[in-house]
Amino acid sequence: MIHDKARIFAQAGRGGDGCLSFRREAHVPRGGPDGGDGGRGGDVVLICDGSLRDLQSLAGRNELKAGRGGHGEGALRSGAGGKSLEIHVPPGTVAELDDGTIHDLVVPGSRAVVARGGSGGRGNNHFKSSTRQTPRFSERGLPGDEFWIDLRLKLLADVGLVGVPNAGKSSLISALTRAVAKVGDYPFTTLEPQLGVLDRGGRQLVLADIPGLIEGASDGAGLGHEFLAHVERTRLLVHVLDLAPLDGSDPEANYQLIESELGRYNAELAALPRVLALSKADLVPADEAAAVAEQWRARLGDEIPVVVTSSATREGLDALADALVQRVPLEAAVPQLAASETLAEHQVFRPGAGREWKVNQLEDGCYLVSGEPVERLLARYDVENDEALAQVEQRLRRMGVTDALTEAGFEAGDEVSIAGVVFELDPG
């Protein structure tokens, strides 16, 4: 079974707390604050690993956590940074976070930080000043990001075999490659993509047998979206068309159905090079198969080769293999840097934390201040500590929150609620 989907909960590490400490040494009276900073929490990182082929390693692992940052210590010793959690995924993996962010991992070795560790808190050494020489508070570390992540694998195959159910794709890929595909005389024999490697003319091509498509597949009918996603990264499509369908359906109608569903799902698929493989030629007279092939050649033109094939007698397999090698470009599907090339220096700009906040009056004498910056501020300090609360009030005043409260009718003695914490604030 190929595991092409996984859903995980990734939690970055929490930052370590800053230390509340004072220098204590013999013959050093009033040594002053020497609390060190907390370490940053570990990140959760996705790494594109060329040795992997599916997402099986993540099956059953629903919750993944990075390491927490170490707490600061006295003597200005900072806490250790949390250990990052590295999650290896195969090339072709698309990761979608629940905030809408999408990471596309194609090139082996590429990395994507999907959850950032929380920053560490500052020790009390940072808060000393000429008017506050013995600060008796420090900052707490902040929690890391946490997201539900949907991972989906889109196979990096050179050639994709498409067609209606039971068109002969599994037999064809088994005959062309060393893949051992399940074969049967009933629809939906293949329930998951099968991969095989074609060796021809000193080249290797990866072929993917995409399970049969039905009408409405582009809208999700059957398992349409599951299967069509694997066609997106291929560079050539082999449309396998049964010369004599057992269900009595019309081959021309089957052809139109598949082409229509491919185009409706993704317009770029309609522009991919094609090869038409007329399958199961051993079940019809040779002159009839040749006549049908000529009709399709006249209809499709020279741009789309038409090959009559039979997996049972191996008729046309060499011609089909030659056509695939000729039609697939020599360069790799994923561009690689030459040995002499290096990536240009660049900077990555990441979105910063939200800066918006607002004031609402809940009832007489109680006001709610909401927004990411003020909630992060409250998470940093212990408001049960008078000095820490004074630091919070000072920061709120600098941010303009106190003035906004006063404009909203706030008076001395009223309560303020921020991030679930209720306390009194001096508007003076």
The owner of tokens 């694997």 is 230
Q: Exposed/middle/buried for 268, CB within 10 Å: 0-12, 13-18, 19+? A: exposed
Find the helix or strand (DSSP H, E) in which 70 lies: none
pLDDT of residue 179: 53
Mean pLDDT, the chain, whole residue set: 83
pLDDT of residue 241: 93
Return d(Cα 199, Cα 135) in angstroms, integer.
73
pLDDT tens by residue, 192-203? 567 777 888 777
The owner of tokens 């049960």 is 384
Helix (H, G, I), strand (E, B) or coil at 292: helix
Q: How large is the angle between the packed helices 169-176 and 317-327, nearest 10 degrees? A: 80
Strands 203-209 and 159-162 turn out to be parallel
| Mean predicted confidence (pLDDT) in 144-148 | 94
pLDDT tens by residue, 117-140? 999 999 999 999 988 889 999 999
pLDDT tens by residue, 13-42? 999 999 999 988 777 777 789 999 999 999
pLDDT of residue 173: 87
Predicted TM-score (pTM) of the model is 0.66
Strand ranges inside 56-101, DSSP E:
63-65, 85-89, 93-97
Return d(Cα 347, Cα 213) in angstroms, integer.
44
Q: Which residues pair with 6 in a beta bridge?
A: 151
Helix (H, G, I), strand (E, B) or coil at 22: strand
Position 181 confidence tier, pLDDT thresholds 50, 70, 90: very low
Find the helix or strand (DSSP H, E) in which 74 lies: none
The owner of tokens 């994709």 is 160
DSSP state of 384: T
Q: Which residues pair with 25 in a beta bridge?
A: 28
The stretches of 302-360 forming alpha helices (DSSP H) are 317-327
Q: What are phi and psi of 167, to 5 degrees?
A: -80, -10
pLDDT of residue 300: 93
User: Under a CB-based contact definition with an 8 Å cutoff, are residues 360 and 370 in contact?
Assistant: yes
Taking 50 as the threshold, does the pLDDT of residue 336 lie above it? Answer: no
**How crowded is residue 323: how many other Cβ atoms within 10 Å of its Cβ?**
20
In residues, how long is the chain?
Answer: 428
pLDDT of residue 404: 92
The alpha carbon torsion through 85, 89, 91, 95 (nearest 10 deg) reads -80
Top pLDDT among 345 and 234 is at 234
Return d(Cα 34, Cα 265) in angstroms, integer.
62
Taking 70 as the threshold, does the pLDDT of residue 215 lie above it? Answer: no
Top pLDDT among 268 and 373 is at 373
Tokens (6 digits) for 54 = 């599916």
Taking 70 as the threshold, does the pLDDT of residue 151 lie above it? Answer: yes
The owner of tokens 């068109």 is 167
Q: How large is the angle between the packed helices 386-399 and 372-380, nearest 10 degrees? A: 160
Taking 60 as the threshold, does the pLDDT of residue 180 lie above it? Answer: no
Sign, CA torsion 201/207/212/214:
negative
Flag the least confident range among 41-50, 84-93, 231-240. 231-240
pLDDT tens by residue, 339-377? 333 444 434 444 455 578 999 988 888 999 999 999 999
Q: What are phi and psi of 421, to 5 degrees?
A: -105, 125
Domains within the chain, CATH numbers bracketed: 1-153 (2.70.210.12), 159-327 (3.40.50.300), 358-424 (3.30.300.350)
